[in-house]
Amino acid sequence: MSTVTACIDASPSAPCVATASAWASQRLQAPLLLLHVLERPEAPPTQDLSGSIGLGSREQLLAELTELDARRERLAMEHGKHLLEDAARLAAAAGVESLEKRQRHGSLLETLREMEGDTRLLVMGRVGEDHDIAAHTIGSHLESVVRSVHRPIMVVMREFVAPRQFMIAYDGSPTASKALDLVASSPLLTGLPCHLVTVGPLSAEQTRQIGQARDSLVEAGFEVITATVEGEVQAALGQYHRDNDIDLMVMGAWGHSRIRQFFVGSNTTRMLSHSDITLLLLR
C-alpha cells in the first residue's frame, strides 16, 4: 500500500482533488497516482428501421452511428488526458516529484478494487462531473466506493485547505479505536492539533475510553483537545468544526453507536452532502 491515488474527472472539484492528493502525497512521502477512468455511457436502444427504410440505407445509418460512437470515445479519451495533464501541473507546482498519470477504461469501482492492494490513500471529490457541486448531494460513485473499498478515503468538498488542525469524531467503538490508531501511527496529520470530539450523553465506560484515546494520541505526540457535544450528530459535529475553525474531520466508516447510526445509510449521505470541510474516512 504505497500510492496516494487521486480520482480525476471533469467535475469542478478536480483541481481540489489534485491539490489535496499532492498535499497527502508529500505528508506521507508516497508516490502520487492521478487516475482517470473512462466509463462507457449507456447506449440508447437501437430502433429497428428496417420497415421504414431500405436495407442498404439502414446499414449505412448503423455504420455512421458506429463511427459517431468511436469519435465520441476518442474525444473522451483526449479530454481525459488533458484533465490528467492539468492535475499533474497542479501537483508538480505543489512540489510533488514522484507522479504517475494513468487512464483506464471500465468501471471506476472495479478499477479501484483492482488497485486496492497498491493504494495507501484514495482521494475523491464529493460529486463527479455529472452532478452540481453546489447541491447537497454526493456522487453515486463515491457512495459505492465508501462501502466497497477498504482503504482510507479523503473526500474533498468545494475547496481544499491544507489542514491547520483536525478533529476525530470518536465513539469508543472498535472501528473508531482502529481509526484513532491509524491516525496516531501515520505521518499524514503529525504535528497538527487534534480535537477528539464525542456526541453525548456519555456512559462511564465511554468516558473512560475517551481518556484512553486521548492518552494514546498524546503519547504519539499530538496536542489533544477533548470535547463532548450534544444533539443530532451531523449538526452537532458540523457546528463544532465551524466554531473551532477545523479544516479536516476524521471518522471511522463503520462504528457501533449513535455515530454508527449517523454514518450508515441515509445518514452517510447527510454527512457527506452537508459537510463543507474535507473528510477522512477510515475503515
- For the chain, the structural domain boundaries read 3-41+75-156, 166-282
- Sheet containing 166-169: order of strands: 99-105, 32-38, 3-7, 119-125, 153-156, 278-282, 248-252, 166-169, 194-199, 224-229
| Fold agreement (3-41+75-156, 166-282) | yes
d(CA 78, CA 82): 6
Looking at domain 166-282, which of 3.40.50.300, 3.30.360.10, 1.10.3720.10, 3.40.50.620 is its CATH number?
3.40.50.620
| Nearest CA-CA partner of 250 in 217, 281, 205, 208 | 281
What single-letter amino acid sits at 153? I
Query: Residues near 31 by Cβ (< 8 Å), separated by ≥ 6?
Result: 2, 3, 4, 25, 98, 99, 100
CA dihedral 67, 71, 77, 78 (to 10 degrees): 150
Strands 119-125 and 153-156, bridge-based pairing: parallel
Question: In this predicted structure, what is the pLDDT of residue 60?
Answer: 78
Alpha carbons 75 and 220: distance in angstroms, whole number: 50
Hey, how many other C-beta atoms are within 10 angstroms of the C-beta on 239? 12
CA distance 256 to 85: 42
pTM (2 decimals)? Answer: 0.84
pLDDT per residue as tens digits for the range 12-22 = 889 999 999 99
Positions of the chain with pLDDT lower than 50, given as ranges:
43, 45-46, 49, 129-136, 255-256, 260-267
Tally of residues, the chain: 283
Q: How far apart are CA 13 and CA 279, in angstroms?
A: 14
pLDDT at site 133:
47
pLDDT at position 1: 60
Q: Please tell me the chain's helix, strand, coil percentages from 3-state DSSP, rounded to the nearest 5.
A: 45, 20, 35
Query: Kind of pairing, strands 3-7 and 32-38?
Result: parallel
Report d(CA 198, CA 140) in Å as an integer: 29
Fold assignment, 3-41+75-156? Rossmann fold (3.40.50)
* Dihedral-angle region of residue 176 (phi above 0 means left; psi in -120 to 50 means alpha; beta otherwise): alpha
Q: Report residue 84 as a C-alpha cell.
A: 490528467
pLDDT in tens, 167-210: 998 988 888 888 899 999 999 999 999 999 999 898 898 899 99
**Letter for the amino acid at 46?**
T
